[in-house]
Chains A and B, each alone.
Chain A
Amino acid sequence: EVQLVESGGGLVQPGRSLRLSCAASGFTFDDYAMHWVRQAPGKGLEWVSGISWNSGSIGYADSVKGRFTISRDNAKNSLYLQMNSLRAEDTALYYCAKGGTESYGDYVYFDYWGQGTLVTVSS
């Protein structure tokens, strides 16, 4: 059974940093791209960042480019998101999502999702 468990969320002041983690199990982690998708309270879904199986290809949404850094440790079956210079508009539930089996280059759908970790940016 595929499991994705996020952690690291919390309340943080604007301008500060936070690091999210996602522990994966139930599949061969280093065979798949992994992504972060967020959802602001009461709003829709927004893709944040993605990383290929070997970290060779990385992408970011324009809204977080230059502030967030995605990484993975295949030996630990873990995905990370380092979030710097946080803003109020980064407040959201952050989901870890597994890339599907059929991609179009670096782009893919998401076949499994974690339950999310809440990040609140407020003074």
Chain B
Amino acid sequence: AIRMTQSPSSFSASTGDRVTITCRASQGISSYLAWYQQKPGKAPKLLIYAASTLQSGVPSRFSGSGSGTDFTLTISCLQSEDFATYYCQQYYSYHTFGQGTKLEIK
């Protein structure tokens, strides 16, 4: 089974910061990677699929990159509504999520 490891597990940042979250796959998954945002008490929301394709309606401050085993989600200018937990998910072989990265306000 493919394992997905996110880093960091949690961190603090301020509004306006540029932040990057990393996701590493235990084996190559080409570009079959998605990113989700989840706020407390809410369902996950798709941000990015195919490693770098922005889902319709998602602000352009979100971007994704990577292929093979190493991927990143970048938020270029943090807004207050971006403080949430972020998950990566591979869909190269079955479906596996990372453990999540909780982004908190500094």
List chain A positions with a Cβ less than 8 A from chain B.
35, 37, 44-47, 50, 59, 61-62, 95, 100, 102-104, 107-116
Contacts and interface: CB of A to CB of B under 8 A. Distances in A.
A61 B30 CA distance: 22
B78 interface: no
A111 B43 contact: no
Interface of B: 1, 30, 32, 34, 36, 38, 42-46, 49-50, 55, 87, 89, 91-100
A104 B32 contact: yes
A109 B90 CA distance: 8
Contacts of B34: 100, 109-110
Contacts of A50: 95
B99 A109 contact: no
Contacts of A102: 49-50
B89 A109 contact: yes
A119 to B, nearest CB: 16
Contact of B45 (A35, A62, A113): A113
Q: Which 3 A-B pairs have the closest CB atoms?
A: A109-B34, A47-B95, A113-B43
A49 B43 CA distance: 17
